[in-house]
Amino acid sequence: MKIKYIAKGLTLSLLASTAFAQAAVMTPGKLTVGSDITFPPYEYLDGKTPAGFDIEFINGVAKAMKLEPRYVDTRFTSLIPGLQAKRFDLIASALFITPERSKVIDMIPYLKTGESLIALSSSTFKPKKPEELCGHKVGSMQGTYWLEKLHTLSTDYCVKQGQKPIEVSEFSTDPQVTQAMLSHAVEVQMTDAAVASQVVEKMKGRLAVTSDTLLYPVLVGLGVSKTNPDFKKELTDGIAAYKASGDYATLVKKYHLAEPQDADIQALKQ
């Protein structure tokens, strides 16, 4: 009876491996990933090699799926159009899950994060919350979900309160926003909380996180095409297999990030 049980387990394992090996990807044996590799600690280049949380995460998922990952460095605003044009199988680029994005692509939640405000340590302006940004110059990377929130805040709060609007400047990459602040072109940078912590650490005292709470909390998801449900299922199974290995929990802890709870995921469906 024990021998039969083991044989059954081996059969199931072989079937799972076969299913992953036959994943509905564009290139057989490859997992082609679109990512804006300018956004540490999520994705960046270590020399010429992609590195960061998302890269390590996808490498682990791809291994579980018996696929070789291949990264296509793509600027953030071109990621969704690139996925729709079938330039890659999925997007892994700290992509926040929003109703607008979920209308055009499917998103698989895998992280929870939020935003922080950064200012020069020498600056007298150190805002703790977005409402303090009225009349000030704020820098952000293009295509981020909080830009709409800032513009809405500027119109519906700042202007209606008789204050000056927020002057929002957009840049192609997050490091360009930081450079703009260092050169006094903007006063404040709004960016992902994990990114903010790393930027401040890297600048060794020149910058400081001024917000005292997580702003605009949001789930981060992998983006996949709505036209390829078979691939979405195989990717979801690959993620489950990677998490079951215990490596995902170790990775999240390494980067000081958080895994979405069931309540967070259920809230997306409401």
Domain span at residue 211 reads 114-216
Q: Is the pTM of this model over 0.85?
A: no
In terms of domains, do 13 and 107 share one? Answer: yes
Domain boundary among 216, 237, 258: 216
Compute the mean pLDDT over every residue in the chain, rounded to the nearest whole number: 90
From residue 26, alpha-carbon distances to 56, 86, 238 in Å are: 21, 8, 17
* Residue 179 · residue 169 · CB < 8 Å: no
In terms of domains, do 22 and 94 share one? Answer: yes
Q: How large is the average pLDDT for residues 65-89?
A: 96
Q: What is the DSSP letter of 157?
A: I
pLDDT of residue 270: 64
Amino acid at site 130: P
Can you tell me whether residue 196 is helix, strand or coil?
Answer: helix
In terms of domains, do 172 and 127 share one? Answer: yes
d(CA 120, CA 233): 45
Residue 20 pLDDT level (bands cut at 50, 70, 90): low
In terms of domains, do 102 and 225 share one? Answer: yes
Q: How large is the average pLDDT for residues 143-154?
A: 94
Taking 80 as the threshold, does the pLDDT of residue 215 lie above it?
Answer: yes
Residue 97 pLDDT level (bands cut at 50, 70, 90): very high
In terms of domains, do 95 and 14 share one? Answer: yes
pLDDT of residue 18: 46
pLDDT of residue 7: 43
Domain tally for the chain?
2
pLDDT of residue 171: 96
Q: How large is the average pLDDT for residues 142-146?
A: 91
Prior bond of 41 cis (ω within 30°): yes
Higher-pLDDT residue of 19, 107? 107
In terms of domains, do 64 and 12 share one? Answer: yes
Indicate the Cα dihedral angle 72, 78, 82, 87, nearest 10°: -20
In terms of domains, do 56 and 121 share one? Answer: no
In terms of domains, do 118 and 234 share one? Answer: no
In terms of domains, do 125 and 100 share one? Answer: no
In terms of domains, do 24 and 148 share one? Answer: no
Q: How many CB atoms lie within 10 A of CB 222?
A: 27
Can you tell me whether residue 91 is helix, strand or coil?
Answer: strand
pLDDT tens digits for range 37-57: 999 999 999 999 999 999 999
Contacts of 92 (CB under 8 A, 6+ apart): 33, 34, 35, 43, 54, 55, 57, 58, 222
pLDDT of residue 227: 94
Residue appearing with tokens 């895998």: 110
* Residue 184 · residue 108 · CB < 8 Å: no
Which CATH number do you get for residue 194? 3.40.190.10
